[in-house]
Structure 1
């Protein structure tokens, strides 16, 4: 997985003072403390070891079905992020992040057993899952 974070901080030090170890350390300590807090939060949320995954759902006939699928999948706790990407020509695409393998995710989606949606696995690889919506 990839983790991207940025911190913007105006340092109370100028370029000529960078050769002074104590001044540099004093100026950089708050920045590194803030970075450490962000990193600890990412690790606690399970995002550090999580991998991105694309889930495609085929066979959706209308927007109401799309919204039901989006809602049902988006509330699953095994996803740390959920992002609807597209709904075009009866196919929806979502991006997510999870600590589970793609085959485990596909199995869990099939086992949702909700009366509102039923999704069957079509194809699974390490980064992509294709499901078919069944009424």
Structure 2
């Protein structure tokens, strides 16, 4: 039986306007052998998604230019199969419900538990079997 080829490095887009959050999550997940791309606005995140095959998006619900749920709606048009983990510091049941209805994989609340971030990210990455190719729309 032939050995399976090694897993290519996974690409994670992290979208948050707080530099401390970007740094923390990048530190937690870069140890997992992933390529981390950071975006501070919804528009920046969508531009990255149009140009890059992403394996996971970690998306803050509150961004300076548009809501995280709006970014999620638009991401679904670009790459319907990419798992998206929503992040909130507010824990609003309605916002979480809306995100899940729009196809979010899961959600995390701030402040983060490092093990929970790793666990949810691993599960989301495992769900990205084969994946879809981003549309340039």
Using the size of structure 2 for normalisation, the TM-score is: 0.29
Q: Which has the larger radius of gyration?
A: 1
Using the size of structure 1 for normalisation, the TM-score is: 0.30
